[in-house]
Amino acid sequence: MLWYVLKLLVLLPLITLLAWGALRLAKAMQQRAGIGQASRSIRIVETTMLSPTLKLAVIEFHGREILVSASRHGLTRLAEAPARATFEVIE
């Protein structure tokens, strides 16, 4: 029993560290390959739940902001407007 607990105390942190390292490596490889926020043409600006089955979302696509509702029946475009200017916060 003591041997089992000792193996558990050694291997559990090791497995956790390996999983964390694999996730960090995958994120670094995605950034290096250009797969990320900068290469996307669609960006979700904001979402709001109206009910358990209905959600509103503002999606930015090619310089336009599109308001859609998402329900069990699919997506419905509600409105469209030019995209607002976004400002970066410099700390």
The full set of domain ranges for the chain reads: 1-39, 41-83
- Which one has a higher pLDDT value, 38 or 69? 69
pTM exceeding the 0.85 threshold for the entire prediction:
no
Is the pLDDT confidence value at 23 over 90?
A: yes
**What is the C-alpha to C-alpha distance for residues 33 and 54, in angstroms, rounded to an integer?**
36
Residue 30, C-beta contacts closer than 8 angstroms, at least 6 positions apart: 36
Taking residues 67-78, report their average pLDDT: 93
